[in-house]
Amino acid sequence: MRIRTLTAADAPALLRLYQAFSDEVNRYFRPFETVTLEVLRDHLERGDAGEHLTLGVAEPDGSLWGHGFVLGIRGERPVFGIGLHQDLIGKGWGRRLMEAVINAADASGAPLVTLTVLKENHRAVSLYESMGFELRGDCTFRMENDSHYMERRRTAP
């Protein structure tokens, strides 16, 4: 497996990944209101156009095991997200994928990357803090104030 940039051609494989996510992964990771081939193709086409960064953990056959991205990379508050197949959780792939996405965001010149994370997702909060994200406040995901809002400023070159 390796981490690589995803393109619109990866939409079917990305849909299969989202369909394979466990209930636990779906509880913590929901970057799209609905997940359809059209939604994912649009997301990846925006990546092809430079509006988003989108990377994946991929097998040589094209199957995907993880998806990391920064939405609106040219905007004022680009939004980071990461989702891994449950079989990769706890094996270092989350950190590797996150490092690749953050490095690409830094290289793009984005001065800031934001994220939200459920307060109960302690493993993710620890990972984000170790990657330079700082807690900035509370926000709502599913229930009022159930999540943290975090930011990471680009490191100087």
**pLDDT tens track for 103-130:** 999 999 999 999 999 999 898 899 999 9
In a domain, 145, yes or no: no
What tokens does 54 get? 């989108």
Position 152 in a domain? no
- Full pLDDT tens readout for the chain, 157 residues: 999 999 999 999 999 999 999 888 888 888 888 899 999 999 999 999 999 999 999 999 999 999 999 999 999 999 999 999 999 988 999 999 999 999 999 999 999 999 999 999 898 899 999 999 999 999 888 778 889 999 999 876 5
In a domain, 93, yes or no: yes
Tell me, what's the pLDDT at 157?
57
Number of domains in the chain: 1
pLDDT reported for residue 31? 82
Query: CB count, 10 Å around CB of 129?
Result: 14
- Nearest to 79, CA basis, from 88, 70, 67: 70
CATH number for the domain including 23?
A: 3.40.630.30
Which pLDDT score is estimated for 119? 92
Q: Give the three-state DSSP class for 26.
A: helix
Residue 59 structure tokens: 């097998």
Residue 113 tokens, joined: 């990357």
Q: By residue range, what is the domain housing residue 12?
A: 2-110
Has residue 91 been placed in a domain? yes
Please give the pLDDT value at position 140: 84
Q: Does residue 69 form part of some domain?
A: yes
- pLDDT at residue number 78: 95
